Structure formats: structure tokens, C-alpha cells
Chains A and B, each alone.
Chain A
Amino acid sequence: MSCVDVRRIDVSEVTDAVHKLCMKVTCKLPPENIVALQRAMEEEKSPQGRQALARILENHRLAGELMQPACQDTGIAVVFVELGQDVHMCGGDLQQAIDEGVRRGYTDAYLRKSVVDDPLFERINTKDNTPAIVHLQMVPGRSVAITVVAKGGGAENMSGLAMLTPASGAEGVRKFVVEQVRKAGPNACPPVIVGVGVGGNFETVAFLAKKALLRPLGEANPNPKYASLEKDLLGEINRLGIGPQGFGGTVTALAVHVEAHPCHIASLPVAVNLNCHVAPHCTAVL
């Protein structure tokens, strides 16, 4: 490909895409999540746990049918943009274009506006759910993939990060992850999806944990060692007994996804980002 062969995309296309994604993200849940909840229903041993799962499944079915948010916490919009390096974004500011899409989508779809301007002092609601949190990543190619995650506060608040030492090894990671889910208990709306980041550095490991939540539910890490770690962690978490909604039971998590990254010889960062069973996210490609 020659260097002059650049694809131009007007940022208004980004606005339209984000708008459309926001319209459906909290109502039409990923089908693999529904399948996982149905499987949980078959596996759950506690009657109260099954009762909770039955209500959750009925709720999520109605959400799709009525195009109404499954959960009232329609989140802060976290927008992942994978920008092909042969694309030139033109016609305006990308962050503003994304925010405009969020503003329109959250208004038109009757989603809750859950963002405050200043985190510490005034805490005044911005009333349109902006600004979005945008993660921009350059990738090869001529297309742009946009993923909107409507990330609720309940599960997010139960997330955590630790800077372990290399000597802690896989056992240290395992202990930290399981303890994090145990401490979250009923607060994170179990059955949860557990995103785990391992490696990188302080800020990268948190990003990896969030990215891990975007992997289609139940798809294993392609590296067999990490796939086996995911399986072991899921087993151990489900032996905690927390169960659906924390009422006690055998299904506390639907899946554990681990993402790893090279790191410094002195470090072993680990992060856990939790998602509730609603886990709303969807993607569009321009």
C-alpha cells in the first residue's frame, strides 16, 4: 500500500456509530451472556440462586423485547477505538464526536445519566452522560472498530490492583483474584464475569483487566497455560459459595478471562476488573 492511499473518515460517522451503539447496548445483551446464564441455571444447586437466575433471565428477555435497559445503571460510556493507521479522521475533534454520540444515544434511548463533572468536590451531574472514557489504540489497516461498554458502578467499585513480586508467581495471582471476588461478594451483582490483567505495569494491567471483559464470554485464552489458569480460577471462585446475588450457591462467576503482557524483571502486576451479569457492550466497524 502506498503512503498516499489514506482513507478519510468524517468524525460525524463516529458520532452516528456511537449513537447507534448506545441505543442498543444496555437492552440487547450479548447472546453468549444469555447462553452462559442459561447454563448457570442448569448448574446452580441453590434454590434461591436458581430463583435469582430465573428472574435475571426473564428480565434480560424483556429488556430486549421492550428495548428497555436491563439494568438502571447504564454506566459511564467506555469507548474503545481501534483506529486503523491508514485512516485519517477529519471534520472535527474525535473526543467531541464520541461525546456527541453518547449524548444523543443516552438521551434517545432513555438511559440514565450517571456522570458527575468533578469527582471530589461539586459532583454535579453533567446530565448527558458525557464525557465518555475513550481508549484509542492504533492498529494496522483502513478500518475503525468502535466498542461501547456501558460500565456500571457496582461491579467497577469492587475491582482491584496489586503490584506483586515475581516470587509470588501463579499462586500469588490466584490468591489475589479469588480474594478480590470473595470480598466483592453480593456487591458486584453475581454471577459476575471476572476480567484479570497480568503483567505490563501499573496502568497497563488495569487496562488489560478491562480488555479481558470484552472477549466473547467463555472463549478461552489462546495460550493453553493461561486457559488452564482461567479454568482453575473459575472452579475456585465457584467453590466460594457466594452464588447468584450472594444468596449462596454454586455459580458465583460465569467466566474468568485473563490477559497477559510482558513486564519488568522486578514486577508482577495483577488487576481484577469485575463485570456484573448484564455486562453490556457492543461493537461496530467503520
Chain B
Amino acid sequence: MAIKIDTPLSDRVVSSLKAGDEVSMSGVIYIARDAAHKRLVSLIESGKDLPFDPRGQIIYYAGPTPPKPGQVIGSVGPTTSGRMDPYTIPLLEQGLRGMIGKGYRSAAVREGLVKHRALYFAAIGGAGVLAGQCMKSAEPIAYAELGPEALWRVEVENFPAFVVYDIHGGDLYEEGTSKYRATEDLK
């Protein structure tokens, strides 16, 4: 059964969630991927303000398809998170409390999650239609010229995701894989 959580994330919620938990998320989240991250981190490095206050917030790694007439947003499943690893620590230092994507994170990011008390969630890769239907409003707040790589503020309702890395060192990918692994020489 999915655990209902609201954004921004409180420290109590962050601390209570464990790798493998399924959550149903509601509230505001921000969408950004490669090119937007490069710009966000260069703002941080030059001491400038970000286009949004990251404290307690969640970034969803995604690049939506254009909305059809009458739609809030198009298809918007997660992209591979590892590409954002080099940009993640500075954002955690600014108070970011969660990221949603798919796939492995680097050791440095996993340590950063524990240190800064933040969570990494996986959404279902390739299920872009379902993800889009959870979004009740969407507005690009910066970098519109980047097209699908713009920075968006979206309001989600019951957005499904799984906790992959928690702040206690839990790792859904490792735990899940070792449970079902049946190849002796790879153990």
C-alpha cells in the first residue's frame, strides 16, 4: 500500500521512509534535467539566486513531450538520474530534500543523501502517460529556450514513486537484486 506524502518534504517524513517503500506524492515538485542542472549549478557557483527556493523541495528528472491542446503537460516519465550526479551535491547543499528519476546514483550522491538528509525516488521508466495524468498544473519557470530541458514547476496529485536510497543507507536496487539473483558466479 502506497504511503501518502506531501511536498515540501519535512525531516520527519524523510527520516521515516525506507528503501522499497511505495509513495504517493502530492504537492509542488520541480522538473529539470541535464541542461537546466548545468545552469542551476553555475548560478550556485557564482553566488546568484536560483529561479526557485530549493529548500525542502523535490526535483523530478524529466523532459516532457509538448502538451496536446487541452492537456496540462504531455508524457513525462523519468529520465536516467546518473547524468545529474555531477550537479547534485551543490543542490543538496542548498537544501534540496528529494530527487525522482530512474537508475543508479554515484557513491558521492548516496553519501550526500545521508549527509544532507534527502531521498532518492524512482518513478516507473517508460510510463510517461500515467505520470502526466498525475500533474494538475505545470508552468515553465525558467530556461524555456531549452525546449524539453526547461525548468518546470508542477503540481502533482498522487504521483507514484518508490524510495530507492533512504537516509539510513537502504538501497532498493541492491536489496531487490540480491533477493532474486540466481547466478552463482555473480553473487
The residues of A with any CB-CB pair to B shorter than 8 Å are 45-46, 48, 51-52, 55-56, 58-59, 62-63, 66, 68-74, 110-114, 123, 125, 127, 153-154, 157, 178, 182, 185-187, 189, 236, 239-243, 245-250, 276-278
Given contacts A68-B74, A276-B126, contact A247 B176 (CB under 8 A): yes
Pick 14 A–B contacts, CB within 8 A, sort by A.
A52-B124, A55-B127, A56-B127, A62-B130, A63-B128, A68-B129, A69-B128, A70-B127, A71-B126, A72-B77, A110-B66, A110-B68, A249-B180, A250-B180
Write out the residue numbers on chain B whose beta carbons fall within 8 Å of the beta carbon of A189: 102, 125-126
Write out the residue numbers on chain B whose beta carbons fall within 8 Å of the beta carbon of A241: 176-183
Report whether B186 and A240 are in contact in the complex, using a CB–CB cutoff of 8 Å. yes
Closest to A247 in B: B176
Question: At the interface, yes or no: B79 with Cβ under 8 Å from chain A?
Answer: yes
The residues of B with any CB-CB pair to A shorter than 8 Å are 20, 22, 35, 62-68, 74-77, 79-80, 82, 102-104, 122, 124-133, 146-149, 160, 162, 172-173, 175-183, 186
Report whether B173 and A72 are in contact in the complex, using a CB–CB cutoff of 8 Å. no
- Closest Cβ of chain A to B85, distance in Å, is 12
Question: How many Å lie between the Cα of A276 and that of B78 in the bound state?
Answer: 13
Write out the residue numbers on chain B whose beta carbons fall within 8 Å of the beta carbon of A278: 126
- Closest Cβ of chain B to A100, distance in Å, is 19
Main secondary structure of the interface of A (DSSP, over half): loop
Question: How many Å lie between the Cα of A249 and that of B176 in the bound state?
Answer: 7
Closest to B177 in A: A241
Closest to A249 in B: B180
Report whether A246 and B63 are in contact in the complex, using a CB–CB cutoff of 8 Å. no
Report whether A154 and B176 are in contact in the complex, using a CB–CB cutoff of 8 Å. no
Additional 4 contacts, C-beta under 8 A, given A52-B124, A127-B147, A246-B122: A59-B129, A72-B64, A123-B35, A153-B79
Given contacts A55-B130, A56-B127, A125-B147, contact A46 B180 (CB under 8 A): yes
- Closest Cβ of chain B to A116, distance in Å, is 9
Write out the residue numbers on chain B whose beta carbons fall within 8 Å of the beta carbon of A245: 102, 122, 124-125, 162
Question: How many Å lie between the Cα of A46 and that of B20 in the bound state?
Answer: 12
Write out the residue numbers on chain A whose beta carbons fall within 8 Å of the beta carbon of B178: 241, 248
- Closest Cβ of chain B to A232, distance in Å, is 12
Contacting residue for B65 out of A55, A69, A242, CB 8 A = A69
- Closest Cβ of chain B to A198, distance in Å, is 22
Report whether A187 and B103 are in contact in the complex, using a CB–CB cutoff of 8 Å. yes
Closest to B122 in A: A245
Write out the residue numbers on chain A whose beta carbons fall within 8 Å of the beta carbon of B128: 59, 63, 69-73
Write out the residue numbers on chain A whose beta carbons fall within 8 Å of the beta carbon of B104: 185-187
The 9 closest A-B pairs by CB, nearest first: A248-B176, A241-B181, A187-B103, A241-B180, A189-B125, A59-B127, A239-B182, A72-B128, A72-B75
Write out the residue numbers on chain A whose beta carbons fall within 8 Å of the beta carbon of B148: 72, 112-114, 125
Question: How many Å lie between the Cα of A123 and that of B132 in the bound state?
Answer: 27
Report whether A72 and B65 are in contact in the complex, using a CB–CB cutoff of 8 Å. yes
Contacting residue for A157 out of B80, B130, B181, CB 8 A = B80
Write out the residue numbers on chain A whose beta carbons fall within 8 Å of the beta carbon of B103: 154, 185-187, 246
- Closest Cβ of chain B to A75, distance in Å, is 11
Given contacts A62-B129, A69-B65, A186-B104, contact A154 B79 (CB under 8 A): yes
Question: How many Å lie between the Cα of A241 and that of B128 in the bound state?
Answer: 25
Write out the residue numbers on chain A whose beta carbons fall within 8 Å of the beta carbon of B125: 71, 154, 186, 189, 245, 276
